[in-house]
Structures are given as C-alpha cells and as structure tokens.
C-alpha cells in the first residue's frame, strides 16, 4: 500500500508561491471569522502563520460568534472594495441560522480564493476559469502528484457538500472520470464505494469507511478531519483496516490538509497578480 502524504507537495507549492510573491506586489489575504469554535480558530491562525512564511500579509477579521448576517455581508463587501486586499475568505461555521452560501455571494469573485461564491462554483460547473475550493483542488493536486490515472476510471465521491463533494465531482468529470456521488441517503454505501477505482471521502465521521467499503488496489483519498478530543485529528477512513486492501491511501493528518493550505496561499498570490 502506497501512503500518499501531502507534505512534500505542499512544500513544493509553497516554494513556488513564495517565488511568485517575491516577484510581485505583496498579496494581502483577509479571513473573516464569526465563531468561537476552537478548531476553526486554530485553522485560520495556521493559515495566517503559513501566509506570513511566504511573505503574504494575512488579516483575521474577527466579528465574533454573535455577528449578524448584515454585518458579515457588509464586511465582505468592504473587503471586496478595498484595493489593498487581494484574497477574501469566509471561515465556517457561521452563527446559527446564517447561510454560508448566502454570505459567500458577497465575496468579490476576483478575490474568492476558496471558491466559495456560488458564482465560482457555477463557473466551475460550466467549465469556465474560476477559483476552485481549495480542498477540492488539493484532492486533484494530490492525485496528479502521485500520477493517478483518471480518464475513463470509476471515481466515487462520498459527501455532496458545496465546499468539497460537489466541486470535486465537477473536477473529476473534467478529467474524464466516471463519477458517482454518494451521501447520507445513499443505500448500501459499501456496494457503491467498493466499485470505485478512485475513492474520495469527505463526510466528517471518524472511521466511516472500513475495509468492506474498498476494492482491492483502489486509490483512497481521505478528506475528513475529525477532532479526536486530545488535540489530534482522525480521518473518515479507518486507516489500518483500509491499508490492508487499498493500493494507495492518504493519511490524516498529513494528507489533503497541508495541500489545501498551500493552495489557498497560491490562490491568494494569483489573485494579487490578476490583470
Ligand atoms: P458537510 O457536513 O458539509 O458534508 C458532509 C457530507 O457527508 C454531506 O454531503 C452528507 O450527505 C454526507 N454524509 C453524512 N453522513 C454520511 C454517511 N453516513 N454516509 C455517506 N455520506 C454521508 O462537510 P464538509 O464541509 O464537506 O466536510 C467533510 C469533511 O471534510 C469534514 O470532516 C471536514 O472537517 C473535512 N474537511 C477537510 C478539509 C481539509 O483541508 N482537509 C477541508 C474542508 C473540510
């Protein structure tokens, strides 16, 4: 079984991005936060730290867990109008009752480095240039890095969220895979997933995918990041069980995650250099 780690790829993307940053105007990323969820705050701080390492300025715009929809929308619009800000990201979760999709429509598409504006997803679905959600882009980058063939192959995506599952289905289709999307209402998940030559899991349930879900030799990408309660992370795939069946498998942590962060920063550098 081949372990598909993301660290080397993430490092390569960062090195290339640092060179792009050094050659142009300093990019500035604004991350809007409206939560006190510790895992989310940890994540945005880690992005800011990684950005600083590449010469990208990063501002955390913390509206607090009591933020109202109007306030979030106005903040995103203000950042869109600010010529000194090149990338804008809205961290989830948002306060109860506020739709992330509705809010993300207020992100300027030219600064939408995590492809969250519905316009970006629409353009992706239509095959037009757009910023792609960084996690979905990271899955594709990992598959390419390890030379995984996609054309004509059976790919199954587990999860249909707007941030991961749906954009990924489009990206895999664009590469001529035969794509099936499964989700919480899928009957007999194991029957669907065990037909996959390439299986991508983005659900958010520790150990959902066991050996019985995986075909011998399949390439398995685990997007899930589930807090273990002791400061660690676990994936959606039972690594030890699936390692005995799969041909290749990403670890959690150290698989998709580092590549996602690196691509967010690459997108920010590219946004700063848009004509
Ligand atoms: P989400 O909650 O928005 O979507 C989960 C999806 O899983 C839904 O479409 C649902 O239908 C499906 N689902 C739920 N239970 C299921 C079941 N029993 N069987 C099959 N499908 C089921 O989550 P999301 O935002 O797409 O994130 C998914 C996971 O990926 C989470 O663990 C999240 O933390 C992680 N994530 C990781 C990164 C990264 O960079 N590594 C980035 C974003 C999200």
Buried b (16+ CB within 10 A) or exposed e, 60-89: ebbbeeebebeebbebbeebbeeeebbbbb
pLDDT digits (tens, 9 = 90+) for 119-166: 999 999 999 999 999 999 999 999 999 999 999 999 999 999 999 999
Stated length of the chain: 275
What domains can you pick out in the chain, each with its CATH number?
Answer: 24-108 (3.40.50.10860), 134-257 (3.40.50.720)
Would you state the pLDDT for residue 39?
84
Would you state the pLDDT for residue 275?
87
Average pLDDT over residues 32-36: 97
The interaxial angle of helices 7-23 and 134-145, nearest 10 deg, is 110
Q: What is the mean pLDDT of the chain?
A: 97
Q: Cα of 33 to ligand 1 centre, how many Å?
A: 20
pLDDT digits (tens, 9 = 90+) for 197-250: 999 999 999 999 999 999 999 999 999 999 998 989 999 999 999 999 999 999
User: Which of 202, 252, 255, 261 for a ligand 1 pocket mutation test, highest count of atoms within 8 Å of Cβ?
Assistant: 202
Take atom 4 of ligand 1 and give the residue whose Cα is closest. Answer: 161
pTM of the model: 0.97
Cα separation, 173 vs 167, in Å, equals: 10
In 11-91, the DSSP E strands lie at 28-33, 57-62, 87-90
262 lines ligand 1 (CB under 6 A): no
> Residue 108 pLDDT > 90, yes or no?
yes
Would you state the pLDDT for residue 103?
98
> Residue 98 pLDDT > 90, yes or no?
yes
> Residue 38 pLDDT > 90, yes or no?
no
């Amino acid at each position: 079984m081949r372990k598909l780690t993301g660290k080397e790829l993430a490092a390569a993307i960062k090195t290339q991005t640092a060179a792009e940053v050094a050659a142009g105007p300093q990019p500035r990323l604004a991350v809007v936060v409206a939560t006190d969820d510790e895992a989310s705050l940890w994540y945005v701080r880690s992005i800011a730290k990684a950005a600083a390492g590449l010469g990208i300025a990063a501002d955390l715009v913390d509206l607090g867990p009591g933020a109202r929809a109007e306030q979030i929308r106005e903040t995103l619009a203000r950042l869109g109008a600010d010529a000194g800000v090149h990338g804008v990201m809205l961290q989830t979760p948002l306060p109860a009752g506020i739709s992330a999709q509705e809010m993300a429509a207020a992100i300027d598409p030219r600064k939408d480095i995590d492809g969250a504006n519905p316009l970006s997803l629409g353009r992706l679905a239509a095959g037009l240039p757009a910023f792609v959600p960084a996690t979905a882009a990271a899955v594709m980058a990992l598959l390419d890095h390890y030379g995984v063939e996609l054309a004509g192959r059976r790919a199954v995506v587990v999860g249909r969220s707007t941030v991961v599952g749906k954009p990924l289905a489009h990206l895999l289709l664009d590469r001529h895979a035969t794509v099936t999307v499964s989700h919480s209402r899928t009957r007999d998940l194991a029957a669907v997933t065990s037909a996959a030559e390439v299986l991508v899991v983005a659900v958010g349930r520790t150990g959902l995918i066991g050996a019985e879900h995986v075909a011998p030799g399949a390439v398995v990408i685990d997007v899930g990041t589930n807090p273990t309660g002791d400061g660690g992370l676990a994936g959606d795939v039972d690594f030890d069980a699936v390692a005995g069946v799969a041909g290749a498998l990403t670890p959690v942590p150290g698989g998709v995650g580092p590549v996602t962060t690196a691509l967010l920063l690459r997108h920010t550098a590219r946004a700063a250099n848009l004509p």
